[in-house]
Amino acid sequence: MLTSRYTLVYVLLMTLVVVASNILVQYPLQAELAGINLADILTWGAFTYPVAFLITDLTNRQFGPKAARKVVFAGFVVGVTLSFFTAQPRIAIASGSAYLAGQLLDISVFNRLRRMAWWRAPLFGSLIGSMLDTVMFFSFAFAPFFVFFGPNDPFAIDWAPILGTFSTSAPRWISWAIGDFSVKMTVGLVMLLPYGALMNVLKPMSQRQARVTAST
């Protein structure tokens, strides 16, 4: 009963993050950094989406991979539903596939590293999961090879200087992917702060049950 109640909290948090990210991805970041016009490569959704990995990792730490997968699948249903109402089918397919694969990989990596130093599991889980998420989303959404998901976006596949500043050129979606993953790495590092602060409060359920048993 306790597990179900807390899992529901994580489901609600994941739903909030997914909804917020779907809304904020429509708003470019109006700023400039080192001569790079960030509005050309980033949206505000890039900053909120990585919080999903924090929620997955906290669920995994407290209740294990089975509960974490339930939270991920709940977010997947919400995300795909919203995407099909607010975006083109190809973007919806890319978004849902990347989210699901990235989050499930995060759970797998986290479980392998959970008995090592406290920061390793959440850091490497989120970074490796984010890498897969980024590669899958931008490839499925924009790479000409995946045209069977939907028509290509001429602007996305048009060549331009990487990040708008380098002499080397590439399809624009490559710059979007680089900018997106850079933000995910940065936010992933920042998310270690709340994870570290909460890990002493959100103990693994086995430890919580042992304390209850010892006190009765």
Q: What is the pLDDT of residues 93-119, one digit of tens each?
A: 999 999 999 999 999 999 999 999 999
Is the pLDDT confidence value at 215 over 50? no
| Per-residue confidence (pLDDT) for residue 164, from 0 to 100 | 84
Q: How confident is residue 192, by pLDDT bands cut at 50, 70 and 90?
A: very high
Confidence of residue 145 (pLDDT cuts 50, 70, 90): very high
Angle made by CA atoms 150, 94, 188, in degrees to the nearest 5? 155
Q: Determine the pLDDT at residue 201.
A: 84
pLDDT of residue 209: 54
Cα 59 to Cα 71: distance, rounded to the nearest angstrom:
8
Separation of alpha carbons 138 and 117, rounded Å? 32
pLDDT tens digits for range 39-83: 888 999 999 999 999 999 999 999 999 999 999 999 999 988 888
| Pair of tokens at residue 121 | 């599991």
pLDDT at residue 198 is higher than 80: yes
The kind and range of the H/E element at 169 are strand 169-171
Q: Tell which residue, 13, 7, 98, has the closest CA to residue 60.
A: 7
pLDDT at residue number 216: 35
Residue 3 has pLDDT above 70, yes or no: no
Average pLDDT, the chain: 89
pLDDT band of residue 213 (cuts 50, 70, 90) is very low
Residue 205 has pLDDT above 90, yes or no: no
Q: Tokens at residue 139, please? A: 């490839």
Alpha-carbon distance 175 to 40, whole Å? 9
Contact 149, 94 (CB under 8 A): yes
Instruction: Kindly state the average pLDDT of the residues 2-17.
Output: 83
Residues in the chain: 216
**Cα distance between residue 14 and residue 196, in whole Å:** 19
Contact call for residues 157 and 169 (beta carbons, < 8 A): no
Between CA 97 and CA 101 the distance in angstroms is: 6
pLDDT(207) > 60? no
Q: Residue 210: pLDDT band by 50, 70, 90 thresholds?
A: very low
pLDDT digits (tens, 9 = 90+) for 151-189: 999 999 999 999 888 889 999 999 999 999 999 999 999
| Res. 211: pLDDT tops 50 | no
Calpha distance 122→130 (Å, rounded): 12
Q: How many CB atoms lie within 10 A of CB 181?
A: 19
